[in-house]
């Protein structure tokens, strides 16, 4: 082989293929046949792999001497990208729709392989594919209202003492029918028939959350464990106007940034699976979603590390952000203090206090019917001994009082029965 040919083969890729294929075909059509040594020598001369030379030779035997130009310059327009999102990111289905003429195109439809390369190229460049998947937790407002009407429930407006009454109360169900413990906002109240009572601490939380949502700011709701922070915040969010969307998330145990990003994406109804580990597209999707007015409620925020809090701060520092952020949890105020940049941006700090001992008997009577007619002195003794104004502890006491009172007919809730119920709490009520 002449040295000049080798130079041409190395410096020009298309010339290399042409020369390699013609030399091998000449050997193949002669008295001998192409061997693996022939292929290896030509691969070394052309600077390609042996597998590539075998592919060239196979295509040449079929009559294709020149390479087919790749169509990587094909670009999906916005309409075709929307079709890809509609079919759940299935490139093969997109190709079938395009070739079937479902979408009008001004250019020829490329192959499936080219479409895959184009999609990967655009995703690496930062384009976001928002796959259209229905969220399991989203319910249309009209359908929700119809379900409430069918269940004979209604949203209780402002000014009423008791809100969100459970339909399983004795007034609405037979006395011998018992249901499972009521759950309100992810917090178990441990006893059927329990109701959320509009106390002064709850009303203060409602006011703080409402102001923060209107101002599109950041709020921190904190307090001792069990005082009813989550229940109060959930009630406050329930009383917001229906047009204000609420997104709920719970901080995981020792979460990393990918886990945190995935939780936010899932709470906002975005595609957490495909975006969680791709930082830039995920952050762009979150930033776009937070441009809508709404409230992101992040519970157990005390589990977040300072870098994660700073990540939240960066999201809310975007100029177009219109959503408000609500951080809740016991000790959240101490965690935020370790992130000065976020601390300086918190609009509302609200500490939830325990149940007020004055009027506690009336509050418990509204919380559950089992406390009707109980002596205030007995309630005060139980609060000083075990309850200590803690909402969760009093929910557990109510559960045990309810169970003891249901053992027979006409069992009176007195000091002895309350003492028995408190004893079931153990040494750490």
Positive or negative, the CA dihedral 385, 386, 391, 394 is: negative
Alpha carbons 421 and 429: distance in angstroms, whole number: 11
Q: Render pLDDT for 373-410 as a digit per residue (tens, 0 to 9).
A: 899 999 999 999 999 989 899 999 999 999 888 887 77
Three-state DSSP string of 185-254: CCEECCCCCCCEECCHHHHHHHHHHHHHHHHCCEEEEECCCCCCHHHHHHHHHHCCCCCCCEEEEECCCC
Q: Render pLDDT for 9-44 as a digit per residue (tens, 0 to 9).
A: 444 444 467 888 888 888 887 777 888 888 888 888
Q: Is residue 168 over pLDDT 80?
A: no
Task: Specify burial of residue 58 (Cβ count, 10 A radius: 0-12, 13-18, 19+).
Answer: exposed
Contact 248, 376 (CB under 8 A): no
Q: Is residue 102 over pLDDT 80?
A: no
Higher pLDDT: 84 or 10? It is 84
Percent of the chain at pLDDT > 90 equals 30
pLDDT attached to residue 233: 93
Alpha carbons 108 and 126: distance in angstroms, whole number: 25
Q: Render pLDDT for 322-373 as a digit per residue (tens, 0 to 9).
A: 999 999 999 999 999 999 999 999 999 999 998 888 889 888 988 888 898 8
Band (pLDDT 50/70/90 cuts) for residue 125 is low
CB neighbourhood size of 102 (10 A):
11
- Identify the CATH assignment for 200-351 out of 3.40.640.10, 3.40.430.10, 3.40.50.300, 3.40.1190.20: 3.40.50.300
Integer angstrom CA distances of residue 186 from 190, 237, 259, 297: 12, 14, 20, 13
Kindly report which listed range (15-19, 106-110, 234-238, 412-416) carries the lowest average pLDDT score: 106-110
pLDDT attached to residue 169: 34
Mean pLDDT over all residues of the chain?
Answer: 78
pLDDT attached to residue 158: 33
Q: What is the mean pLDDT of the segment spanning 72-99? A: 79
* Residue tagged 């005060």 (tokens): 380
Q: What is the mean pLDDT of the segment spanning 168-192? A: 48
pLDDT attached to residue 335: 94
Q: Is residue 314 over pLDDT 90?
A: yes
Band (pLDDT 50/70/90 cuts) for residue 175 is very low
Contact 179, 144 (CB under 8 A): no
pLDDT attached to residue 128: 67
Q: Render pLDDT for 266-312 as a digit per residue (tens, 0 to 9).
A: 898 887 666 666 778 888 889 999 999 999 999 999 999 999 999 99
pLDDT attached to residue 26: 85
Q: Is residue 145 over pLDDT 60?
A: no
Q: Is residue 420 over pLDDT 70?
A: yes
Q: Is residue 159 over pLDDT 50?
A: no
DSSP class of residue 330? Answer: T
DSSP class of residue 385? Answer: I
CB within 8 A of 95, min separation 6: which ones? 109, 111, 112, 115
């Amino acid at each position: 082989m002449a040295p000049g040919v080798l130079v041409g083969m190395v410096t020009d890729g298309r010339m290399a293929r042409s020369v390699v294929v013609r030399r091998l075909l000449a050997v193949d059509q002669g008295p001998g046949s192409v061997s693996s040594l022939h292929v290896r020598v030509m691969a070394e001369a052309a600077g390609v792999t042996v597998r590539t030379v075998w592919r060239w030779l196979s295509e040449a035997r079929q009559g294709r001497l020149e390479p087919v130009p790749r169509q990587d310059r094909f670009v999906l327009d916005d309409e075709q990208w929307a079709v890809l999102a509609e079919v759940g990111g299935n490139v093969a289905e997109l190709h079938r729709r395009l070739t079937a003429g479902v979408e009008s195109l001004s250019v020829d439809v490329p192959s499936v392989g080219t479409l895959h390369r184009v999609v990967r190229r655009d995703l690496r460049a930062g384009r976001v594919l928002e796959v259209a998947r229905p969220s399991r937790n989203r319910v249309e407002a009209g359908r929700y209202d119809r379900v409430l009407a069918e269940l004979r429930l209604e949203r209780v407006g402002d000014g009423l003492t008791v809100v969100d009454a459970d339909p399983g109360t004795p007034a609405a169900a037979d006395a011998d029918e018992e249901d499972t413990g009521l759950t309100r906002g992810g917090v178990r109240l441990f006893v059927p028939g329990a109701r959320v009572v509009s106390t002064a601490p709850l009303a203060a939380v409602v006011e703080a959350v409402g102001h923060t949502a209107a101002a599109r700011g950041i709020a921190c709701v904190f307090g001792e464990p069990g005082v009813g922070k989550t229940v109060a915040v959930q009630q406050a969010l329930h009383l917001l106007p229906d047009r204000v969307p609420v997104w709920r998330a719970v901080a995981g145990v020792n979460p990393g940034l990918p886990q945190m990003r995935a939780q936010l994406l899932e709470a906002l109804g975005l595609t957490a699976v495909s975006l969680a580990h791709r930082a830039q597209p995920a952050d762009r999707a979150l930033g776009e979603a937070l441009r809508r007015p709404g409230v992101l409620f992040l519970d157990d925020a005390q589990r977040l590390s300072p870098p994660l809090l700073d990540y939240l701060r960066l999201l809310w520092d975007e100029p177009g952000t219109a959503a408000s952020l609500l951080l809740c949890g016991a000790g959240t105020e101490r965690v935020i203090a370790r992130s000065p940049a976020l601390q300086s941006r918190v609009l509302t700090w609200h500490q939830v206090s325990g149940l007020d001992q004055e009027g506690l008997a009336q509050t418990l009577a509204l919380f559950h019917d089992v406390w009707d007619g109980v002596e205030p002195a007995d309630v005060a003794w139980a609060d000083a001994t075990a309850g200590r104004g803690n909402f969760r502890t009093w929910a557990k006491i109510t559960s045990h009082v309810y169970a003891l009172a249901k053992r027979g007919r006409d069992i009176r809730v007195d000091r002895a029965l309350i003492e028995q119920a408190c004893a079931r709490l153990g040494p750490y009520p």
